[in-house]
Amino acid sequence: MAPSRRDLAVRAAVDQGLLSPAEPVVALLDTAGIRASAAALTSAFAAVTDAPVLHAFAVKAAPLVPVLRLLHEAGLGVEVASPGELALARAAGVPPAATVLDSPAKTPAELRQALALGIAVNADNLQELARLDALVASAPTASPLGIRVNPQVGAGSIDALSTATATSKFGVALRDEGARKAVVQAYLERPWLTRLHTHTGSQGVPLALMAEGVGEAYALAEEINRTVGRQQIDTLDIGGGLPVNFHSDEETPTYAEYARLLADTVPGLFDGRYGLVTEFGRSLLAKHGTVLARVEYTKTSGGRPIAVTHAGVQLATRTVYAPDTWPLRVLAYDAEGRPRTGEVTVQDVAGPACFAGDLLATGRALPLLHQGDVVAVPDTGAYCFAHHYAYNSLPRPGVHGFTVDDDAAVTFTTVRKPQTLAEIVAESGGAHADALVG
């Protein structure tokens, strides 16, 4: 069997010194895989509608400027939820017309900036809408404006990520007493409100529940337009949140499955009357990222082998603190970056942080790892190496994109350099060492 692109990249990372005793952890991004996911998303919706669709990548999933540039060149926009994410998007060259601002806590300054730039804004609540009233009255804006609603259709299997529960912090809760009537009235009073936004999906949420949430938003848009007597709402932002399969390399569910389900359950969504916005994040990047870490030591405790590596809570924070909810695969390679063979042994794979729970995998059956070996943690392209947890002041790893040519040669490009010790000191108040003792 020919080696996979990942296997080739692991071997090349060792051969080319990206992973070494001096740099014992590194993150890799498969740029061809990212492009393929972007193409799968756009083609899935193009197959069910001729209406315009803005696929806005959720920046929180991978806040890296080169990633945003790559996705923008693949035809995607961005969804931002903070001034920092907006700054990253602008640095990547994403235009305001392809940018959507969502956040439950937008400040007046954030709103003012977005309206000045012409960025689409989804108001999270009616108090925020009152702020928009004043800003719209004070200066003209090209920003498409809407309201986020919570259809309250229920939770998936991960409570912390479920955004459409009865008590979710996001959006106007449609089933609360008087809320639906208040939303309809808000549109009646504001002809400049032309969008409606909802977001039900996330990891652990089944596709049927996602489609139900979209259907509730569509029904509300239809009600508003009937009440107004014209098509005031011209665009539906249906959010994102397609779940990711973390158990194998199979990419399931697919964008095509979801788009077909929406076409079957909410057919009016695709009849050309509404423009669409999506906000997918994890599903575009997760499968195309791999963290590599050297095994620094191996030992046994209670008779169980333990491989101590340089990848742990600083990268896979959710996995370490909630391993049953966020399991990650661990793949074994030898010191030269070749897939390790040998008798499969139940063992723990530990990270470098100084607390007992810093484990990537517990009781995992793998070929027995040795000192100097390499572990690869796939499916980490979203939320892992781009969201650093600075436990023990562990440095952020370098991130490198890679391509593989027809001759199986691997080329790496730097996405982000490894964090230096000087940078850790600087961001930890190094310039103010005497601040508390002067």
**For position 2, what pLDDT does the model report?**
66
- Nearest residue to 417 (alpha-carbon basis) of 18, 31, 13, 127: 18
What is the average pLDDT score of the chain?
A: 94
pLDDT, tens digit (0-9, with 9 covering 90-100), for 262-314: 999 999 999 999 999 999 999 999 999 999 999 999 999 999 999 999 999 99
Whole-angstrom Cα Rg for the chain: 24
With b for 16 or more beta-carbon neighbours within 10 A and e for fewer, the 167-193 pattern comes to: ebebbbbbeeeebbeebbebbeebeeb
The predicted structure's pLDDT at residue 35: 98
**Residue whose C-alpha is closest to residue 121's, from 140, 139, 141:** 141
Q: Which of 31-40, 173-182, 330-339, 341-350 has the lowest mean pLDDT?
A: 173-182
12-16, 55-59, 175-179, range with the lowest pLDDT? 175-179
The percentage of residues in the chain with a pLDDT greater than 90, rounded to a whole number, is 87
> ∠ CA(385), CA(388), CA(390), 5° rounding?
140
Answer yes or no: is pLDDT of 355 > 70. yes
Per-residue model confidence as pLDDT tens digits over 370-401: 999 999 999 999 999 888 999 999 999 999 99
Q: What is the pLDDT of residues 125-169, one digit of tens each?
A: 999 999 999 999 999 999 999 999 988 665 555 555 555 555 676
Most confident of 156-160, 201-205, 342-346: 342-346
What integer pLDDT is reported at residue 167 of this predicted model? 62
Distance of CA 298 to the CA centre of its chain: 33
Q: How far is residue 166's CA from residue 175's CA, in Å, rounded to a whole number?
A: 8
Which amino acid, 278? Answer: T
- pLDDT of amino acid 78: 98
Q: What residue has token string 């504001």?
A: 190
- CA terminus-to-terminus distance, the chain: 66
Reduce the secondary structure of 89-151 to three states and give it as a string. HHHCCCCHHHEEECCCCCCHHHHHHHHHHCCEEEECCHHHHHHHHHHHHHCCCCCCEEEEEEC
Whole-number Å distance between alpha carbons of 98 and 54: 7
